[in-house]
Amino acid sequence: MTGAAFARIFGCRPQATEAVPGRVNLIGSHTDYNGGMVLPVALPLGVHVAMAPREGSAIRIHSARFGETVTYRPGESPRGHWADYAAGAALLAQTHGLLAGGADLWIESTLPVGAGISSSAAVIVGVLKAARQIRGADLSDTEIAGLARQVENDYIGVPCGIMDQMAVAIGSVDRAMALDTETLEFDLIDLPAALRVCVIHSGIDRALADGRYKLRAIECAQARRAFADRPLCRLRRTDIEAAGDVAEISRRRARHCSTEHQRVVAAIGALKSGDLQDLGRLITASHASLRDDFDISLPPIDRLVADAVRLGAFGARLTGGGFGGCVVVCIARDLFESWLTRLLAAHPAARLIC
């Protein structure tokens, strides 16, 4: 994005620009809203946001990808439109005093939509950071992440946790974020030079707002009530299996959350020690849990994961909210090119994201 391009659309120069990465989650699916650990990695792909304040209260948003400019006003509900995420962030910025009035926004993204690599969180965080920059507000990146989650939960209507927002607000490329979603304490861990983390799109698009993600969140809330409102990730598996009066679907959702949290803790240790074989084993076990206990995978994605490992990857799993999107794969860097050629030959609908 250039200032000249912004000026052609809006007739002025931007006063703030922000670059925000996407993210892929190595391991820790659906644990962030159930009191557990996650291990996301920032991606080299991302979103660029440019902003200039304007008179009045209207928010004008231009997408370089779609070549379209739309306008939102305070109090306006989401439209089911690509601009909802940027609009929700700007409208929240107004209510929190980060925007004194209206704003012109330019959004440019290299992140594919519907892939499960946090394009929505990157847009929201980018808008909030740009507003913070213009206002000169004393808000930390963690506080920005909290506001971004509020946009997703309250404006868009997706009952997500805090992982995506923290990962894109704070994370950096080639480092994993070991994040405790209960305390928001985190550690940034360098990825080993011999490890290539890649993202493969399955060819099946997905959307968090289509109801299935929300259904899993509802089922997890029901499971929490069945276990006396204890965070599912902090339950012991023996307690889950021993409970005799719990519905089977609640037991399975709790079992995934509990074992997934434990796998994340183990994966953090494996990554720090450089044990890539164990890291891969844990990642692949995570996929099996998502398939069998959380019911968010699909047969074509199961086959893609199985072939990724069969052809030589340390491990692979579905990443994101589920029901399509991407798989994340850990592979030895020196094997990547030949491995990728064979994998894509076996799965013509799949494609490399990064």
* DSSP 8-state code for residue 208: G
Residue 187 bears catalytic tag: no
Q: Which of 32, 84, 164, 293 is catalytic?
A: 164
> For strand 102-109 and strand 175-180, is the pairing parallel, antiparallel, or unpaired?
unpaired
* CA-to-CA separations, 317 to 48, 270, 279, 291, in angstroms, rounded: 28, 17, 12, 10
Q: Report d(CA 178, CA 181) in Å as an integer.
A: 10
Q: Report d(CA 217, CA 104) in Å as an integer.
A: 35
* CA-to-CA separations, 202 to 233, 301, 345, in angstroms, rounded: 28, 6, 13
Determine the straight-line distance between the first and last CA of the chain, rounded to whole angstroms.
21
> For strand 59-63 and strand 102-109, is the pairing parallel, antiparallel, or unpaired?
parallel
Burial of residue 307, with CB atoms counted within 10 A of its CB: 0-12 exposed, 13-18 middle, 19 or more buried = middle
Question: What distance lies between CA 262 and its chain's CA centroid?
Answer: 20
* CA-to-CA separations, 179 to 37, 102, 264, 315, in angstroms, rounded: 6, 35, 10, 21
For tokens 């995506």, name the residue.
164
Contact indicator for 320, 116 with CB cutoff of 8 Å: yes
Residues with active-site annotation: 164
